[in-house]
């Protein structure tokens, strides 16, 4: 076996393919390479979508995903793993077996349930398999508010409920949970209860084994950028690959996404 010599840390992304490049593997690779790591990838589904509409998807057989990952592992040492779209239960179970059977780093998992344009990206039985078999293997799970609501089974109108939801998701087995609070700023009922200063903030909440860190940043409205969840989780994985602590990796990732959002907003005011 020939081992490929790569000087930069290698981050493996296991995710779906978005042909428009706005999300999925293309966004992951772009992010990982921007943060001074080398990206390798396995595709779980080929989706048919663009910035305006989700048309459908052709999911890969589980054995295809396994074959892609095993080919990579045959020559490459993996420093970090990011997991995105897992459309079927068979893929979920096989990805869990790959993580355990190859002693891969505990992954950063973005629980992708729906596309920005409304397409369902994870079947109901895949969701159940995800909760029972893969969530406990994570280093970090990064749901947005709607995803956290589904995982925790509660409504999340504010920061207190984010704390409760994060605790419930940890009870399912995830050691650390980062709930991305950007969706709270999009709920008009919530925004009317906030001061102007609060409306300018995006609040994310990290629960790492019960230790709570609230991460606040500027709320950047406007622009047409998709795939911010893909970018954030990939950037966190890249941070972990380069030796950063979890909080440091998250802070770097938030700054990376904020800059991308700001640049997009300037292009599309």
Residue 151: burial class (beta carbons within 10 Å; 0-12, 13-18, 19+)? buried
Q: Quote the pLDDT of residue 29.
A: 97
Q: Round the average pLDDT of the chain to a whole number and report it.
A: 88
At residue 260, the pLDDT reads 86
Residue 193 pLDDT exceeds 70? no
pLDDT at 250 over 60: yes
The tens digit of pLDDT for each residue in 200-248 reads 677 899 999 999 999 987 666 655 567 889 999 999 999 999 999 999 9
| Ordered domains of the chain (ranges, CATH) | 10-220+229-243+251-262 (3.40.1190.20)
Identify whether the C-beta of residue 55 lies closer than 8 Å to the C-beta of residue 72: no
For 37, the token pair is: 């790591």
pLDDT score recorded for residue 183: 56
Predicted confidence band of residue 263 (pLDDT cuts 50, 70, 90): confident
Q: How far is CA 251 from CA 96, 142, 159, 255, 257, in A?
A: 27, 13, 19, 6, 10
Angle between helices 62-73 and 89-101 (to 10 degrees): 20
Q: What is the pLDDT of residue 220?
A: 64
Q: Are 231 and 260 in contact (CB under 8 A)?
A: yes
Give the per-residue pLDDT at 184.
67
* Residue range 3-12, pLDDT digits in tens: 555 689 999 9
């Amino acid at each position: 076996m020939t081992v490929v010599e790569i000087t930069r840390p290698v981050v493996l992304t296991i995710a779906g393919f978005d042909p428009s490049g706005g999300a999925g593997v293309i966004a992951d690779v772009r992010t990982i390479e921007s943060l001074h790591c080398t990206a390798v990838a396995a595709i779980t589904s080929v989706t048919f979508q663009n910035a305006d509409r989700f048309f459908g998807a052709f999911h890969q057989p589980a054995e295809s995903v396994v074959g892609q990952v095993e080919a990579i592992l045959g020559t490459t040492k993996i420093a970090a793993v990011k997991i995105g779209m897992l459309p079927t239960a068979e893929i979920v179970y096989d990805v869990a077996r790959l993580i355990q059977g190859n002693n891969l780093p505990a992954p950063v998992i973005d629980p992708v349930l729906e596309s920005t344009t409304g397409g369902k990206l994870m079947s109901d039985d895949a969701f159940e398999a995800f909760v029972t078999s893969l969530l406990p293997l994570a280093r970090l799970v990064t749901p947005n508010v709607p995803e956290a609501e589904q995982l925790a089974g509660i409504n999340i109108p504010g920061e207190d409920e984010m704390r409760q939801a994060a605790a419930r998701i940890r009870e399912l087995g995830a050691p650390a949970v980062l709930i991305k609070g950007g969706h709270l700023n999009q709920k008009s009922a919530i925004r009317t209860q906030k001061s102007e200063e609060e409306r300018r903030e995006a609040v994310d909440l990290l629960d790492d084994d019960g230790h709570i860190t609230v991460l606040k940043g500027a709320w950047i409205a406007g622009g047409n950028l998709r795939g911010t969840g893909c970018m954030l989780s990939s950037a966190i994985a890249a941070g972990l690959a380069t030796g950063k602590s979890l909080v440091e990796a998250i802070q770097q990732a938030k700054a990376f996404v904020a800059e991308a959002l700001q640049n997009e907003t300037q292009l599309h005011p």
